[in-house]
Structure formats: C-alpha cells, structure tokens
C-alpha cells in the first residue's frame, strides 16, 4: 500500500482536532466527595494528596465550587460519628449523608447528587453489610444485608438524592433497592450499580479516605476476582436484568477490556478511576517523574475511548480546570 496510504497526511498539527475520535467533556465527569461528621475543618487524606474529607457544614460551598468549575455531578461518601455491628447510622434521618444531601439540595439544587449505598463506612467491622456465620466462617451475609441496603437507599432518596449507587456487590442488591425505592414512591430515582467491582488492591487509599478498612478477612467473597473476565461481564448483565439504569466497571484503567465488553451490553456505563489510580499518578507527579495534566487527560481519554459514558475520578476538578483553560 505504501506510498499511496500515508496516515501521517491527516496528522498535521492543524488538522489533528478534526480527526480526534474521543474528546473528554466536563459532562463526562463525576466528583467523588467525602463528608466527615467528626471534623470541623477540611482534612487532607494522607494517601491521596490534594484530596480532602470535608465537614458537613462545607457541603454547599464545596458543591458551589464544583458547579462553578462547570461540573454537574457528585458521588458522596460519609464518615459517621458512630459505627456499630449492623451499620445503623447509614440510614438514620440525621446520618452524615442524609444531612449532607439536604444541605446540598437546599443550596445548590442544580447539582446531581449521587450517593454511595454501602455499609462499610458505618459498620465497626468494616465489611459492607451484616456479618454472621457462614460455611466460609464469619463473613458477609447476603440476604440479611439486602434489607439494610434497601433501607439506606430509601433514606438517601428521602433526603433528596438524585441517584443511588450501591457498591456492596451483594447478589440481588439492585432488585432489592429497586423494589424498596418503588415501594416508597421513588420509581423515578435511577440506580447506578457498581455492577462489576473487582476485589482490587487499588482501593487501599480509599480505605484511609473513608475509614472503611475491614477488621478481619477480605472482600474476595463478594467482590470479583481480577482474573475472571466472563464472570465480570455476567455481573453487569445480572444487574441490568435486576433493573440497573447505569452499570459500572471499577477500577477503570487496568480493566479497559472489561469496560469495552460491558459497554456493548447497551446501558450507559460508568468507570471509576479509583483511589489507587489517583495516588499512583500523584506520587509519580510529586517525584517529578510524570507530567500530571498529560497523564491524567490520557487516562481519562482512554477510559472514555474504551466505552465509558461517565468517569468517576478524583481528578475531576483538575480536569475541569484544564478543560476550562483551553476554552
């Protein structure tokens, strides 16, 4: 074919934008946020430099800044005052997330508020629901935890959340939450399911951030093995059948093969660039080894190219600033 076919003809600098297939927009990005009921000042997360836990009193202000940067969606995590065996503070009317959602919706109603629905920040053992005796020893109990998730999701909707995002990886979580939301008159609240969530070592820094580390065992009996591709796709298929509105692949960057397969299932897909993905880039940047803007935009572009409609990323605010500077 050479020299007739010269791909460099269309790569002239001036023409490059005309042929760019994938463009990151601020509308693709969701900002994860941590609200901590026990603090009164922002607290930097040591394993995630540049990321903070905020007091509930700052919820409106933080969301105003996000809107001013041109972003429109946040994903909320809470750190409660008290934890117990069954995660009761996760669904209290005056729980940390419930208060935070109300504050945001009163002051910045235009922002889309998505809440993480899980119990690991609220249980004293740090697992994602109710634990008890199983054939595997003491472990997360599936069906008893479903009621807890349903209760958490309904309490978030009652506080004004626009969307709920269950992350516990229990079998049947989407169906249980859908039924409970519908039963309480919230049939219009969408569910973004953490449908394909791997049991990843990249969640390490998050467990600092959200104080959600577990006191025994691990999460491999509910989260997915990184080695299993077919099962990963099946997880998202089942959640679609149960009524998920958006499915998710998490982590993002090292699971792009799964992401592209899940995107072909037909529903909108979110990808979560997780804490460890943020911290790896940040650490290298702080050592002067990587160009932060270039690397971050490359990772986001590739995640979108692989099929993500939405990207949850701790770099959302930086990316918005970089995109705004280019306008």
- Residue 258 contact partner, candidates ligand PBG, Zn ion, none, CB within 5 to 8 A by sort of partner: none
The active-site residue, picked from 83, 250, 282, 304, is 250
Task: Determine which helix (DSSP H) or strand (DSSP E) holds 298, and give its type and residue range.
Answer: helix 292-305
Per CB under 5 A, contacts with Zn ion among 21-60 are none
List 83, 99, 105, 197, catalytic entry: 197
Residue 217, Ramachandran bin (φ over 0: left; ψ between -120 and 50: alpha; else beta): left
Helix (H, G, I), strand (E, B) or coil at 248: strand
Do 80 and 89 form a contact (C-beta atoms < 8 A)?
A: yes
Binding mask 57-76 for Zn ion (x = CB under 5 A): --------------------
- Residue with the two structure tokens 């280019």: 326
- Please, which residue, 71 or 118, has the CB nearer to Zn ion? 118
**Which sign does the torsion angle of CA 198, 204, 209, 212 carry?**
positive
Q: Is 12 annotated in the active site?
A: no
Q: Which partner, Zn ion, ligand PBG, none, binds residue 76 by CB below 5 to 8 Å per kind? A: none
Determine the length of the chain: 327
Residue 290 in tokens: 């990587």
Shortest distance, CB of residue 164 to ligand PBG, whole angstroms?
13
Which residues, other chains included, contact 23 with Cβ-Cβ below 8 Å and sequence gap of 6+?
A: 301
| CB nearer to Zn ion: pick between 138 and 286 | 138
Rounded to a whole number of angstroms, the minimum distance from the CB of residue 325 to ligand PBG is 26
Three-state DSSP at 106 gives helix
Residue 23 C-alpha from the chain's centroid:
21
The partner residues of 31 in beta bridges, in order of sequence, read: 74
* From the list ligand PBG, Zn ion, none, partner contacted by residue 203 (C-beta under 5 to 8 A by kind): ligand PBG
Q: Under rule CB under 5 A, how many of the chain's residues touch Zn ion?
A: 3
| CA 327 and chain centroid, separation | 28
Q: Which among 123, 174, 188 has a CA at the least distance from the CA of 146?
A: 174
Chosen from ligand PBG, Zn ion, none, partner binding at 184 (C-beta under 5 to 8 Å by type)? none
Q: What character string, x for contact with Zn ion (CB under 5 A) and - otherwise, covers 104-143?
A: --------------x-x-------x---------------
Residue nearest to ligand PBG (CB): 206
Question: In terms of CB distance, is 186 or 222 closer to ligand PBG?
Answer: 222
- Our answer to whether residue 99 is catalytic in this structure is no
Residues near ligand PBG (CB under 6 A) are 116, 118, 120, 128, 167-168, 203, 206-207, 212, 219, 274-275
CA dist 319 and 27 (Å) reads: 11
> Could you list the active site residues?
197, 250
The residues of the shown chain that bind Zn ion, judged by CB under 5 A, are 118, 120, 128
């Amino acid at each position: 074919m050479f020299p007739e076919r010269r791909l460099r003809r269309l790569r002239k600098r001036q023409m490059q934008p005309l042929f760019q297939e994938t463009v990151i927009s601020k509308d693709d990005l969701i900002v994860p946020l941590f609200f901590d009921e026990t603090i009164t000042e922002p607290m930097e997360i040591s394993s995630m430099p540049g990321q903070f836990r905020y007091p509930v009193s700052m919820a409106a202000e933080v969301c105003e800044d996000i809107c001013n940067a041109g972003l429109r969606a946040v994903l909320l995590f809470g750190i409660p005052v008290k934890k117990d065996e069954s995660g009761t503070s996760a669904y209290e009317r005056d729980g940390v997330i419930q208060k935070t959602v109300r504050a945001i919706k009163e002051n910045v109603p235009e922002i889309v508020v998505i809440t993480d629905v899980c119990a690991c920040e609220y249980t004293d053992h740090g697992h994602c629901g109710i634990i008890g005796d199983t054939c595997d020893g003491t472990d997360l109990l599936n069906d008893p935890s479903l009621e807890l998730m349903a209760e958490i999701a309904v309490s978030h909707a009652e506080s004004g959340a626009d969307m709920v995002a269950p992350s516990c990886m229990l079998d049947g979580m989407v169906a249980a939450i859908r039924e409970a939301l519908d039963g309480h008159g919230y049939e219009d609240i969408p569910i973004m399911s953490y449908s394909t969530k791997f049991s990843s070592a990249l969640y390490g820094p998050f467990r600092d951030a959200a104080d959600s580390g577990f006191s025994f065992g691990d999460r491999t009996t509910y989260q997915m093995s990184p080695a299993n591709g077919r099962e990963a796709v099946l997880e998202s298929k089942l959640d679609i059948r149960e009524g998920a509105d958006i499915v998710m692949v998490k982590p993002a960057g090292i699971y792009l093969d799964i992401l592209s397969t899940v995107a072909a299932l037909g529903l909108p897909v979110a990808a979560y660039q997780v804490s460890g993905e943020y911290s790896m880039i940040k650490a290298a940047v702080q050592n002067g080894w990587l160009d932060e803007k270039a690397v971050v935009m490359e990772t986001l572009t590739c995640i979108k190219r692989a099929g993500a409609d939405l990207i949850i990323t701790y770099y959302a605010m930086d990316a918005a600033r970089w995109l705004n500077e280019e306008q």
